[in-house]
Amino acid sequence: MIRTQIQLTEEQARVLKRLSREQKRSVAELIRQSIDLYLTSSGQSSLEQKYAKALALAGQFASGDVDLGRRHDDFLDEAFAVTGNDSA
C-alpha cells in the first residue's frame, strides 16, 4: 500500500471515528472502502481493483454453517425459494 496524508473536516473525522468503533474497523479501512466505492461508481475501477476488493472480503464473514462449502448450492436454492426468485 502507498501511504498518503489527507485532511478531514471535524465532522468527517467525528463520523469516521464513530463508524470505526461501531463496525470494529480502522478509520483507514473505512476511507479505503469509501474511495473504492467512489471509484467504482465513477467507472474508474479496473479489473485488478475488483479482484483485490473481492479477495479482501474472503474470510470476513461467518455464517455459522460448518458445511457451507459442501452445501452452498442447497443454501442458494433455499434462499431463492424464500425470496420467490425462480431464476436459480
- The model's pLDDT over 5-41, given as tens digits with 9 standing for 90+, comes to 999 999 999 999 999 999 999 999 999 999 988 887 7
Domain extent listing, the chain: 7-58
Answer whether residue 86 shows pLDDT above 70.
Answer: no
All cell numbers assigned to 33: 472502502
pLDDT at 65 over 80: no
- Supply the angle between the helices 27-41 and 47-57 in degrees, to the nearest 10: 140
pLDDT recorded at residue 45: 60
pLDDT number for residue 85 = 64
**CB pairs under 8 A, 24+ apart, for 17-22?**
none
